[in-house]
Amino acid sequence: MKIPAIDQGTCNLCAGCLEVCPEVFSFNKNLGFIEIKDMMIYPEDKIDEAIALCPEDSISWEDE
C-alpha cells in the first residue's frame, strides 16, 4: 500500500495541505509540524491535489 509522507525538513508550515485535505493532514500543535493521520485507505485524488499545491514539494507517496 502506498502512503503519503511529508519531508519535515522542507515543509514551511503554510497549511495548504490542511485546507485541501484536512481528513489526512493535521497540525500537531505540541510538536509543531504537520502530521499524517493513520488511515486504512487514503483519498488519492485529494492527496495528489495537496502534492500539486505544496509550495515546497514536501509531500510524496511512499510504499509501505
Q: Give the interface with ligand SF4 as residue ranges (CB under 6 A).
A: 6, 11-17, 34, 54-56, 58-59
Name the minimum Å distance from CB 63 to ligand SF4.
19
Name the minimum Å distance from CB 1 to ligand SF4.
21
Nearer to ligand SF4, 12 or 44 (CB): 12
Of 42, 52, 51, 54, nearest to 16 (Cα)?
54
Cα 18 to Cα 1, 32, 38, distances in angstroms: 22, 14, 15
Q: Cα(9)–Cα(23) distance, rounded to whole angstroms? A: 23
Nearer to ligand SF4, 28 or 40 (CB): 28
